[in-house]
Structure 1
Amino acid sequence: MEIDFVEDLKQPEYTGENRCEPCTLLNLAIAVAVGSLVARKTKLGGALAIVVSIGLIYLRGYLVPGTPTLTKRYLPPEVLRWFGKEPEPELASGVGGIDSGGSPSNDATDTPAAAADSPPESNGESSGDDAPEEPVELDLETFFLSHDVLEPCADRDDLCLTDAFEADWLDAIDKIDTAGVDSADAIAAFGFEEDPDEFDIESREDTQLLVASHGIAGRWPSRPALIADIAASGVLEEWTPEWDDQGPETKGQVLNGLRMFLETCPTSGGEISMDEEVVESCCSSHDVIAVTCDETGERLFEQRLDTVGA
């Protein structure tokens, strides 16, 4: 019975690797303060209050209800950095997409690798500078309109996929063996120059990661999102003569932006919807615009709400 009681108190989402150190220290300080107040009347009671509080913090991650939510929403980024925590949750935005890999996380394997994987193209001559080439910033709307990928929607004030491009894209998706998609497919789609054997695709819950020996080169919110990017890259290679000249990060930005215009789920064929959702790390959270397959719940696209229109 006692063991079951202890197990019921545990909250793995706030302890172990998920423990938020700022939350823990704040609650320990509160525990000591409360224990000191109780100790003014009874030292034994004060000591007992501190011991019980520490036990709860150990098992649950916090003492005061609502601490994780309050910390994620209101703790200044500078404070998180004191504890070696990244203030920004990692968004799954493909390779070099919006908000993807803007800053490395605490895990050394989460260091963005896309830039390191795309050395400057210089006709085989060394530039004399080891710094990776900056990705080309494209005006995505101009790029899509000029290549007949998007056009003004017929029924609303927005942009939609052209019928021809959508047909080619969905046809390319249908031809992909979803179970057999591997790192070599992703390497070819984004034009990484490294040996495909140096990469691997890992799944962390729904998120798909393209992992290299020196970091994470790409991150997608679901397998359908990765498949959509691989298929779209093949179509854009036929539709845009300059596609092969683009670097991996530039391709990633284009493909990530294009994915939000899908109107059917790449794998199930069902409808999709756009909603506001929350992306969380251990110590912070942000509202995002999310495009999700209605039937399967798989996410195709996510972008921080406070960057929309910025």
Structure 2
Amino acid sequence: MQLDVVDDLKQPEYTGENRCEPCTVLNLVIAAVVGSVIARKSRLGGVLAVGVSIALIYLRGYLVPGTPTLTKRYLPPEVLRWFGKEPDPAVASGLGTVDSTDRPAAGRETTFDESDAVASTDTDAVGDESTADTDEPAVADLETFFLDHDVLEPCADRDDLCLTDEFETAWFDEIDPLSESGVDVDAAVDAFGFDADPDEFELETRGESRALLSSAGGAGRWPSRAALIADVAASRALETWMDDWDAFDPETKGEVLNGLRMFLETCPSGGDVRMGEEVVESCCTSHEVVAVTCEETGERLFEQRLTDVDA
């Protein structure tokens, strides 16, 4: 019974690696103040109050209800930096979004322009690729690139761009087996064209998201297993679709794949997709994003910080 009570009190979303140090310090200060007030009338009562408070903070991450929400909403970024916390939670957009700064990415309909989908990747941190090689092809404009390679075409039922039937079929021919087997490190490294040994990388699961990491730094972060599968499958499809796909560097491949994922109308795990505004949270902060989500599973295929979206 006692163990059941302890388990009921535990809140993993606010403890362990998810613990918000500013919340903890604030609540410990409150516990000390309350304990000292009670101790004026009863020293034993004060000690018990502090002990119970510390136990609750340890198990729950906070003592005062609503502390995490209030901290995320009102705590100044400077205070978060004192505790080694970034004021903005990471947005998982794909290749190049771990330990890097995202530039505006693609959208749908009239919300924002798909041709602006760009991810910045520090290839020096994850492989031996050189951006100085002028023989490597470049993509000046994603919309033109997709149209020129018969990946996209004007939609028949609205003023927008849609996947061509042929490319959508080729893409899902690659998605279907990956949905069964999943994506391992070798498949990810090969898909993005890193000139490095796959043993130098690690594919890490962080809740729903997936992160491709190396000993030198991060390569990318995807909001879900489905998003990573979509990118790896798209790379494989483009390898047979284009003559020079293998010649593109990882940064350019990431740019193309991050933008292309926005055009999926069927989730890799099945069902339709929808676009809307959602919230991305870390231990101490939160912000709104424009997100593309699988309706049946809730997996997020893409997210872009709302403040980076041109209305």
The TM-score by the shorter chain falls in which range? 0.7 to 0.9
Change (3 A) 1:39 1:309: same
Preserved CA contact (<8 Å) 2:185 2:203: yes
Q: Kindly provide the CA deviation profile for residues 214-241 of structure 1, in whole angstroms up to 9, marking residues without a partner as x.
A: 3432222233322221221233345455
Match of 2:220 in 1: 218
The CA deviation at 1:193 is: 0.3
Preserved CA contact (<8 Å) 2:277 2:288: yes
Preserved CA contact (<8 Å) 1:115 1:249: no
Change (3 A) 1:43 1:192: same
Partners of 1:16 and 1:203 in 2: CA distance: 16
Q: Which segment drifts farther, 136-145 or 201-210?
A: 136-145
Name structure 2 gaps, 5 residues minimum: 102-120
CA RMSD of aligned residues (A): 3.0
Match of 1:107 in 2: none
Change (3 A) 1:20 1:123: closer
Q: Give the 3-state SS of the residue equivalent to 2:275 in structure 1.
A: strand
Partners of 1:63 and 1:176 in 2: CA distance: 45
Match of 1:291 in 2: 292
Preserved CA contact (<8 Å) 1:118 1:247: no
Preserved CA contact (<8 Å) 1:182 1:200: no
Change (3 A) 1:43 1:73: same
Preserved CA contact (<8 Å) 1:11 1:61: yes
Partners of 1:279 and 1:213 in 2: CA distance: 27
Residue pairs, 1:91-240, within 5 angstroms = 91-96=91-96, 99-102=97-100, 114-116=123-125, 117-120=127-130, 138-174=140-176, 176=178, 178-179=180-181, 181-240=183-242
TM-score by length of 1: 0.79
2:175 aligned partner, one-letter code: I
The CA deviation at 1:264 is: 0.9
Partners of 2:220 and 2:199 in 1: CA distance: 16
Preserved CA contact (<8 Å) 1:138 1:250: no
1:276 aligned partner, one-letter code: E
The CA deviation at 1:56 is: 2.1
Q: Kindly provide the CA deviation profile for residues 266-301 of structure 1, in whole angstroms up to 9, marking residues without a partner as x.
A: 243x22222332222221222222222223333222
Preserved CA contact (<8 Å) 1:118 1:248: no
1:236 aligned partner, one-letter code: L
Change (3 A) 1:180 1:7: closer
Structure 1 runs (4+) deviating above 6 angstroms are none
1:67 aligned partner, one-letter code: T
Match of 1:24 in 2: 24
Residue pairs, 1:31-110, within 5 angstroms = 31-39=31-39, 45-96=45-96, 99-102=97-100
Match of 1:300 in 2: 301
Partners of 1:3 and 1:223 in 2: CA distance: 34
Q: Which segment drifts farther, 190-199 or 138-147?
A: 138-147
Partners of 2:252 and 2:78 in 1: CA distance: 30
Identity of aligned residues (%): 67
Residue pairs, 1:224-303, within 5 angstroms = 224-240=226-242, 243-268=245-270, 270-303=271-304
1:253 aligned partner, one-letter code: E
Match of 2:108 in 1: none
Partners of 1:15 and 1:192 in 2: CA distance: 36
